[in-house]
Structure 1
Amino acid sequence: MKTLFEQELRDLFGDGTIVHKPIFIGRTCFGTLGGDLRVRIEFDDPAVLRNYDSLSVKVINRLSGLVDHIDLPIVDLIGRKMIPDNPNFPDGVAPHIWIYNGTVEWYGYKPNAADRAAIRSTVAQYLNMFREPFLEPVKIHPSSPKRKQRDSISR
């Protein structure tokens, strides 16, 4: 049986484009970045016990250990969310998963497709810092002004 944590991580990273070869266990997603680099992404509750309000993203070298780590508060990624027809949250709610009376669920607001895209984008930007770069040579066409300027200078 999949937990809500696992389902959310599958929705975010299950296609393998951001985290290659993803594996999901509980509230954690494991995968590869290339070479000896691995990634571990999990819902974390750094401030309030059983209120999972951030994603912890770790880049790990499988031979030498932790390379880098970042905590991404969900509210920083998608903002506070208004809950229509609910006077208890006049300023909106900071999205998070909580465990209450043995039930795991989103508290007040469940992220939509646009929210998930924002989360994916931020995690991808972070992880791209650790991927092997694929450099392509800069091509300068003979008609390029920079090329003409170099030719005139070298004469």
Structure 2
Amino acid sequence: MNFFQGELLTLFRGRPEFRDARYVGRACYVPLPDGTKIKAEFVTGMMGNQYDALRLTAISPTEGKMDTELLRFSDYFRKVPRSNLESITPYMWVYDGKAEWYVAPSKADKAELADAACEYVNLFTSEQQEQTSMSMSL
């Protein structure tokens, strides 16, 4: 298991929305009942080796990519003081061929990011439940 898979697994461990997730490469895929999959992956922003966001993509088996949401670490992680003058938002980076956190976020911050990702997954499962209920009532 690579660093990114390990971080995704840690982030989503115990979350019912990610119970059936498959970890491949640097991403995880969550199958939904209608065949839609949610892809979760860490992505870079302005710096090529600095991973500062979690991208979630909904993929339909018939239509392809349906939706994408970018959860930026700066929206979920508290800044960590680095010196008297500087604070930094945690991010992952690849340096000298090794991936790791450059200032690690707290467990509470990671939980907040995971909550947001679960909300995204629930948008699609709720929509499926609503469609099923409507077709059953007709």
Deviation at 1:16, TM superposition (A): 5.0
SS of equivalent to 2:57: strand
The C-alpha deviation readout for 1:73-129, integer Å capped at 9, x for no partner, is 11111232224xxx2x7331111110111121111x212321121011111122221
Structure 2: state its 5+ residue gaps: 131-138
Of the three residues 105, 108, 114, the one matched with 1:111 is 105
- Distance across 2 between alignment mates of 1:34 and 1:69: 19
1:51: which partner in 2? 50
Does the alignment pair 1:96 with 2:96?
no
The C-alpha deviation readout for 1:35-71, integer Å capped at 9, x for no partner, is 1211000010132101111001001111211111011
Q: Which residues in structure 2 correspond to 1:1-155 (within 5 Å)?
A: 2-15=1-14, 17-83=16-82, 87=83, 90-107=85-102, 109-132=103-126, 134=129
- Distance across 1 between alignment mates of 2:25 and 2:106: 22
Larger deviation, residues 73-82 vs 44-53:
73-82
What's the TM-score, normalizing by structure 1?
A: 0.74
- Residues 1:33 and 1:79: Cα distance change in structure 2 (over 3 Å): farther
- Distance across 1 between alignment mates of 2:114 and 2:15: 12
Pairwise CA RMSD of aligned residues?
Answer: 1.9
Question: Stretches of 4+ moved more than 3 A in 1?
Answer: 132-135
- Distance across 1 between alignment mates of 2:104 and 2:24: 21
CA contact (8 A) 2:78 2:105 kept: no
SS of equivalent to 1:21: coil
Give the counterpart letter for 2:31 in structure 1.
T
SS of equivalent to 1:18: helix
SS of equivalent to 1:110: coil
CA contact (8 A) 1:20 1:33 kept: no
Deviation at 1:18, TM superposition (A): 2.1
Considering fraction of residues, name the structure with more strand: 2
